[in-house]
Structure 1
Amino acid sequence: MDFFDFVTSTVALIGFPLLLFLLSFLWIPKAASGNTSRKKTAPEAGGAWPIIGHLRLLGEPQPPHITFANMTDKYGTIFTIKLGVQRALVVSSWETAKECLTINDKAFATRPKLLSAKILTYNYAMITSAPYGPYWRQVRKFATIELLSNH
């Protein structure tokens, strides 16, 4: 009986405040920080679940392009969705897509720097995780000429 009392009191004293602390991050509004020098970002589509984001919308009976068309009608021609915990930009007008792929191509060509990619790919040394730059161009040229050609 004494051990049971010890466990319940330990859970009550440590577990409950820890749970409240972790849950407080879900309900604190981001705009309450008062930071007025925030970067402008595209609006995020509503309805994202905490861990899976908007992935449940892509698994509906209707095709994903119909889902994106409905979201475009609601949020505009450019918006963000969450694929898991990562944010993805959705562009549905050809003018904006052309601007993203010609004028701002360097900003869109690079990959996110994730800790897992850094560890698994030897400090971003593999072509699949290397950031856009001279090293990536050299590795791409090598892979195209030596690995993917009939030469």
Structure 2
Amino acid sequence: MYLQCDLPSIVPATATILSSLLLIISYLLWKPRGSRRTPPEAGGAWPVIGHLHLLAGSEPPHLTLGRMADEYGPIFTIRMGVHKALVISSWETAKEFLTTNDKVFAKRPKGIAAEILTYNYAMIAFSPYGGYWRQVRKVATLELLSNHRLEMLSHVRASEVKTAVKEKYELWATILEWN
């Protein structure tokens, strides 16, 4: 008498058992990284939206964050959705972060949308800190945002604003005619 075994029905069961074993083994062998000190996280975060409900209240966000700084100290973290954000409310600490440790905090999160839309992070707002970013920043500040260049192109900005206001007025006038 032969034992008949249907191969397609064994494969899912075997895969389930193996993946469960791997999950259990990885959970047992996982050790947390060293004891890094992290700033305290503000309380009151909701599971998916984090602290966004606190910042969207009737009180302006800077006052809400100031109140939280009084409670948690000059440096603390909040959750913006599922991402953590570091809040610094002391000018001494902010100066230290922006001068001494600026390279550490100059990193920007990478994402597939930013990579595609910015031609592999070629735009200054999305490019990582490094030689390319320093060169692009130098070109932008000396050539595009200098006082001479801004003064030279002021007529273009004035013309664009005038055109935008004129188009909005014409759109408003056509809407009034329909009513």
TM-score w.r.t. structure 1 length?
0.68
1:75 aligns with 2:72: yes
Q: What are structure 2's unaligned runs of at least 5 residues?
A: 1-29, 153-179
Alignment-derived partner of residue 138 in structure 2: 141
- 1:103 maps to 2:70: no
One-letter code aligned to 2:70: D
Deviates further, 118-127 or 35-44 = 35-44
Confirm or deny that 1:45 pairs with 2:11.
Answer: no
User: Who is 1:132 aligned against?
Assistant: 129
Q: Does residue 115 of the first structure (1) align with residue 79 of the second (2)?
A: no
Larger radius of gyration: 2
Q: Judging changes above 3 Å, is the alpha-carbon distance between structure 1 residues 46 and 103 closer, same or farther for their aligned structure 2 residues? A: same
Q: Deviations over 1:94-132 (max 9, x none)?
A: 221121111111112221222321222122111110011
Aligned CA distance change for structure 1 residues 116 and 40 (closer, same or farther; 3 Å) = farther
Amino acid at match of 1:46: G
Q: CA deviation at 1:36?
A: 5.1
Paired residues, what number? 119
* Root-mean-square deviation over aligned CA pairs: 2.0
- Report which structure shows greater RCO (CA 8 Å, sep ≥6): 1
Cα distance between partner residues in 2 of 1:132 and 1:110: 6
Q: TM-score, normalised by structure 2?
A: 0.59
Match of 2:91 among 91, 94, 109: 94
Q: Percent of aligned positions with the same letter in both sequences?
A: 64
Stretches (4+) displaced over 6 A: none
